[in-house]
Amino acid sequence: MSTLAQEAAIDGLRERLAEARAAGGAVGFVPTMGFLHAGHRSLIERARRENDVVVVSIFVNPLQFNPGEDFDSYPRDLERDLELCADADADIVFAPDRREMYPEPPAATVRLGALADVLCGASRPGHFDGVATVVAKLFSIVGECSAYLGEKDFQQLTIIGRMAADLSLPVRVVDCPTVREPDGLAVSSRNVYLSDAERGQAPVLRRALQAGAVLVQSGETSGAAVEAEMAAVIAAAPLAQLDYTAAVPASTLIAAGPLQGEVRLLAAARFGQARLIDNIGCRAG
Ligand code: PAF
């Protein structure tokens, strides 16, 4: 295991990475908001296998939270995160404070198109512009790298992949599979908000997606019918408050006629204080 370095300064991180690159090292980057779990660990481990230097960023990005959302209460535990990073054999944890990242409110930000206004973007206006702004900044700081992102946040993954391509950023975005609890619940930092009763019902999201996939695979091409089926499964869980279900083309995430080819099924629901999301892929036709 390498010794984990902790860095809070942008210039300091750049210097460390310049040294690593001069020695011919490929950089793997895992952007996070901390409170790391098994999902993050799998990203760090994959970055470790595929690169010479592994950087994990930990920054709870205020730009991606709307007023009334959980920015202040978002779980934070840097000591525990550092232990997990050391254990997963990361090399550098970049944990800047807010002043380092945003010495002033940014005048230049990333504005996304329609992809940011659907699904989670419809209930969290501006959220993905905030994500894209911080990720563009992190990619600019880290420089040429492979960036490891989880499919659990599929809309985020799609947006970041498009942003990197559209802006010709020197970053290869690597999609990594969702890590799940034994009962199917996708691991998430926000699962900590769930009461025991809510935790018991939360796997309904995954079951709804599976029911949707069965319908698609049996030949259903109406997105609306698949969405209604998934919503009905979620409605059977009394503690779930549905936000949306969606059956959309995997490449665009925007509904366009009958389902065909690669389809993404997505769902979001609130269980008490926790807003949980999940998704799976399937093939129509
Ligand atoms: O998925 C997250 O943890 C965040 O949205 C990210 C990509 C680190 C940007 O703040």
pLDDT tens digits, 124-167: 999 999 999 999 999 999 999 999 999 999 999 999 999 999 99
Nearest CA to ligand 1 atom 3: 32
In the chain, domain spans = 5-176, 189-280
What residue ranges in the chain does DSSP mark as E strands?
A: 5-7, 27-32, 53-58, 92-94, 145-150, 171-176, 240-249, 261-271, 274-284
pLDDT of residue 191: 97
Query: Closest ligand 1 atom to the C-alpha of 57?
Result: 8
Would the pLDDT of 55 be above 60?
A: yes
Q: Phi/psi at 237 (nearest 5 deg)?
A: -100, 110
Q: Which residues line ligand 1 (CB under 6 A)?
A: 31-33, 61, 64, 131, 134-135, 153, 156
Probe target for ligand 1 pocket from 131, 159, 173, 191, with the most ligand atoms within 8 Å of CB: 131
pLDDT in tens, 125-134: 999 999 999 9
Would the pLDDT of 254 be above 70?
A: yes
What's domain 189-280's architecture?
A: 2-Layer Sandwich (3.30)
**Which one, of 235, 234, 238, lies nearest residue 197 by Cα?**
238
Contact between 157 and 164 under an 8 Å Cβ cutoff? The reply is no
pLDDT of residue 1: 47
Query: Closest ligand 1 atom to the C-alpha of 60?
Result: 10
Query: Closest ligand 1 atom to the C-alpha of 61?
Result: 10
CB atoms within 10 A of CB 11: 10
Overall average pLDDT of the 28-34 stretch: 98
Probe target for ligand 1 pocket from 61, 64, 69, with the most ligand atoms within 8 Å of CB: 61
Query: Closest ligand 1 atom to the C-alpha of 150?
Result: 1
Token code pair at residue 189: 């930092």
Nearest CA to ligand 1 atom 1: 32
Contact between 161 and 251 under an 8 Å Cβ cutoff? The reply is no
End-to-end CA, the chain:
48
User: Catalytic site residues?
Assistant: 40
CA of 30 to the centre of ligand 1 (A): 9
pLDDT in tens, 218-248: 999 999 999 999 999 999 999 999 999 999 9
Question: Is the domain covering 5-176 a CATH 3.10.580.10 domain?
Answer: no
CA distance 131 to 117: 13
Question: Do 5-176 and 189-280 come out as alike in CATH topology?
Answer: no
pTM metric for this prediction: 0.97
**Confidence tier at 285 by pLDDT (50, 70, 90):** confident
Would the pLDDT of 51 be above 50?
A: yes
Nearest CA to ligand 1 atom 9: 131
pLDDT in tens, 68-123: 999 999 999 999 999 999 999 999 999 999 999 999 999 999 999 999 999 999 99
CA of 32 to the centre of ligand 1 (A): 5
pLDDT of residue 7: 98
**Confidence tier at 266 by pLDDT (50, 70, 90):** very high
- Answer with the residue of higher pLDDT: 1 or 70: 70
What residue ranges in 112-206 does DSSP mark as E strands?
A: 145-150, 171-176
